[in-house]
Amino acid sequence: MALHLADLLGEHWLDYARAHRQNLNADHYRAVRRVLACRTAQLGGRLYQCDGCRSKHYAYHSCNHRSCPQCGALDQQVWTAKQEARLLPVPYFMATFTLPEQLRPICRAYPEILYQLILRESAAAFQDVTATKTGAARAGFTSVLHTWGRQIQHHPHVHLIIPGVAWDPVGRRLVRPAKDSFLVHFRPVAQRFRSRIQSALQNEHPEIHAQLTPAQKHVLTPSKEWNVQLQHAGSGRTALRYLARYVRRSAFSAKRLIGYDTRGNVLLRWTSSATGKTDVMALHPHEFIRRWLIHILPKGFTRVRHYGFLASAARKSRLHIRLLLGELGEPAPKLPEPAPFTCQCCGGALTFLREIAPILFVRGPPLIA
C-alpha cells in the first residue's frame, strides 16, 4: 500500500522538529502545515450530491504548495501546453549547469542567494558565449532550477531549453548555427559560468565568500573545470516535457513512496541514471524528511525564468522571428480539460450543494515542546 507524505509527516514531524529545530526555518514549517492540511476539511471545499444514488461527496481543496507531491498535476499540464505552443520550428538544445559538490553546503546555507546566482549567471554565461560567436546576437531560452537527484539528495543544477537560433535586434535578422546538431562548445560556457559565479560571490556577497573553505575557493579557480552539458534536443518537445515534471511538482512523485519496511524505514522507488534499472531504497523517516526539506524553496522564489527573446517583454521580437521563420503568429496552446467529477459509487453526475468554509486557526508559534 502506498504511503502518503502527509501520513509520514503526521507520524514523525514533531519528533523530527524537536531534534532538528536549529536547522528549520519559516519556509519549512509553512510547507509542512500546507501538506498536512492538503485535501482536508481544514482548507475547506465543496459538497456535491450524486443525481443517481444520492450519495454525498466532499471535495476538499488542495494546498497547491509546490513541495506537495499530491498537487500540481494540472498546473504542470497547463504549463507544458503553453510552452509547447511557443516552440519555434528550429532545432533545440538542452544545456545543464551543475554546481560543484564542494559548493553545495554554501548553497544549503544560503539558498535564496545561491539559487538566484546559479540561475542568473548560467543565463549570462550562455548569452556571453553566444554573443561572442554570433557577433552580439541574443539567444532566447527557458531556465529551470532543479535541486534534487534521483534519490532526492541535494544536487542543484539548472536546465536551459534553447532554440537553435539567435536574434540580432540591430540588423533584425536571425543567426543560425552552422550545423543543426551543434550550437556552441560546452567548455567556454563552463569556464564563463565558473568565472561569473566567482566574481558574483567576491563582489556582491563578500560575507559568503569569506566563509568559503580552501577547498571551496580552489574549485572557483580557473584550474578547475565545471560540469556543463550541452546536447541536441530535437524539436524541443521531449526535453520540455522532461523539464515539466520538475516545474510544478515536488522532489518526488506520490507513487514513488511505497511504504515502510519491517524496521520502520521509508521505502522509496528510484531509477538509476547509469543503468536505467528501478530499485528501492530504505531511508530512516527523519532522513527522508531532511532530504525533502532541502528542496523547499524560499517563499516567492521563481524556479522557471525566460531570457532573451523568450522573455515576457520580448513579444514583438518573437513575432518578428516567427515571421522570418515562415509563421504568421504564435499558435494558441492546447490546454488540457479537467477530468469530469463523477460519483465514485455509481459514476453518476454530481450536483453542487454548497461551499465548505475552511477552518481558521489563530496563528502562533509551532507546537514543539
Task: Cell 533584425: give the residue.
Answer: 172
Question: Could you tell me if 93 and 13 lie in one domain?
Answer: no
**Pairing state of beta strands 138-139 and 141-148?**
unpaired
- The reported pLDDT for the residue numbered 321 is 93
Residue 276 resides in a domain: no
**C-alpha radius of gyration, the chain, whole number:** 24
Cell of 119: 540561475
pLDDT exceeds cutoff 80 at 368: no
CA distance 248 to 77: 9
Residue 368 resides in a domain: no
Residue 214 resides in a domain: yes
Question: Could you tell me if 143 and 109 lie in one domain?
Answer: yes
Residue 285 resides in a domain: no
Sequence letter at residue 124: A
Distances (CA, A) of 335 to 73, 144, 215: 13, 21, 49
What proportion of the chain, given as a percentage, has pLDDT over 70?
97
CA distance 150 to 146: 11
pLDDT exceeds cutoff 60 at 291: yes
Question: Could you tell me if 51 and 80 lie in one domain?
Answer: no
Cell of 135: 557577433
Question: Could you tell me if 217 and 143 lie in one domain?
Answer: yes
pLDDT exceeds cutoff 50 at 369: no
Interval 314-341 mean pLDDT: 87
Interval 94-122 mean pLDDT: 96
Task: Cell 554565461: give the residue.
Answer: 125
Range of the domain at 15: 5-65+340-356
- The reported pLDDT for the residue numbered 249 is 73
Interval 241-260 mean pLDDT: 86
pLDDT exceeds cutoff 60 at 366: no
Interval 75-79 mean pLDDT: 88
pLDDT digits 0-9 by tens, 185-244: 999 999 999 999 999 999 999 999 999 999 999 999 999 999 999 999 999 999 998 888
CA angle (205 as vertex; 204, 210 as ends), nearest 5: 135
Question: Could you tell me if 139 and 24 lie in one domain?
Answer: no
